Amino acid sequence: MEALEEGDFCFPHINNSCRWLKRPEVETTLIYIVLSIIILLTVVLNLLVIISISHFRQLQTTTNLLLLCMAVADFLVGLLQMPLLLLHNQGCWLLGDVMCAVHYFLAFLVVSVSVGCMVLISIDRYIAICDPMFYTTRVTMIRVKLCICMCWICSVVHSTWILRDFLKSPNVQLNCYGDCIIIVNFAEGAVDFAVTFLGPILIIVILYLRVFVVAVSQARAMRSHVATVALRRSEKVKAEKSEIKAARTLGIVVVVFLICSSPYYVFAIAAESNLVGASSSGIELWLVYCNSSINPVIYVFFYPWFRKAIKHIATLEILKPGSREISVL
């Protein structure tokens, strides 16, 4: 049996110390390069979304405010969660128990907020397409801001409840000194699955079925009357197309979320105990976090205003006086 060297342990002078995860040097270097690129793209792209919507007055609509909320959550994933998970992939947690608790608390928090924002956006699109006459009176900036605040508050409460035992005594669940894992029992795992995955997906799918039916009926009506559409209705038709396009974009975001999140929840359900840690579910966690990288890429391809905003930001035109009033639509 090969003897372990002192350098194999995270803390050589402490009994029951964890060991560093050894991989071939080429594999380790490749993993770090790929994951570092993903982290950089996540931070930069979501920061561009945040700057664009925050700076340009024309983009400060109710729908874009919800996109801003989701971009903030995705930005925190790239800025805080991904680097910590990358460090944890080494097999040793060197930042202490407090940072371990913060790491998992933020993990549950930002995922819950991101999912909550998707639900709010789907409700926004549902009202815009299925009940457009009352959209401006029902969906106001004050109500949207209130919903965003409630989304964050509920996410904080949810994350605190899930981690209540871990936050009280984080050392109880450690297999060795220098580890950072949590064990979520069946009841807590079931609640998390229902709140952050199954429930939101069911709500979004139900709303989208209704949106799809209305969108199809609108498309048929526009085609049947295309020859007789008056000039005064052109703006209305254009607005309807814009609403449908926004709903279609959200649909793509939801599909990507399903692809990225399903492996993690399948893993969690199939596991004998719902263990969340880099040593057992690293790939699944990285997939969940990669969803935060893909969301702004979708915006780049489907929102022309985002591409125009990036151009103004890259050329530093936003630093000029009056740049907030620049037209990017």
Q: Give tens-digit pLDDT for 90-144.
A: 778 888 778 888 888 998 999 899 999 989 988 998 888 888 888 888 899 999 9
Domain that holds residue 129: 25-221+231-323
User: Taking the chain, what is the end-to-end CA distance rounded to the nearest angstrom?
Assistant: 67
Q: Is the residue at 132 inside a domain?
A: yes
Q: Is 106 within a domain?
A: yes
Tally of domains in the chain: 1
Return the residue matching tokens 């729908």. Answer: 63
Tell whether 52 is covered by a domain: yes
Q: Which residues lie below 8 Å from residue 157, measured CB to CB, with a gap of 6+? A: none
Task: Kindly state whether residue 188 falls inside one of the protein's structural domains.
Answer: yes
Spatial contact of 89 and 278, defined as CB atoms under 8 Å apart = yes
- In this prediction, residues 66-80 reach a mean pLDDT of 92
pLDDT at 174: 63
Q: What is the pLDDT of residues 192-218, one digit of tens each?
A: 888 888 899 899 888 888 877 776 676
Residue 243 lies in a domain: yes
Is 20 part of a structural domain of the chain? no
In whole angstroms, give the CA distance from residue 90 to residue 10.
10
Cβ atoms 9, 18 nearer than 8 A: yes
Q: How far is 89 from 159, CA to CA, in rounded Å?
A: 23
Assess if residue 1 is contained within a domain.
Answer: no
pLDDT of residue 232: 46
Q: What is the pLDDT of residues 132-158, one digit of tens each?
A: 888 888 899 999 999 999 999 999 999
211 occurs within a structural domain:
yes
At position 320, the amino acid (one-letter code) is K
Q: What is the CATH number of the domain that holds 133?
A: 1.20.1070.10
pLDDT value at residue 76: 93
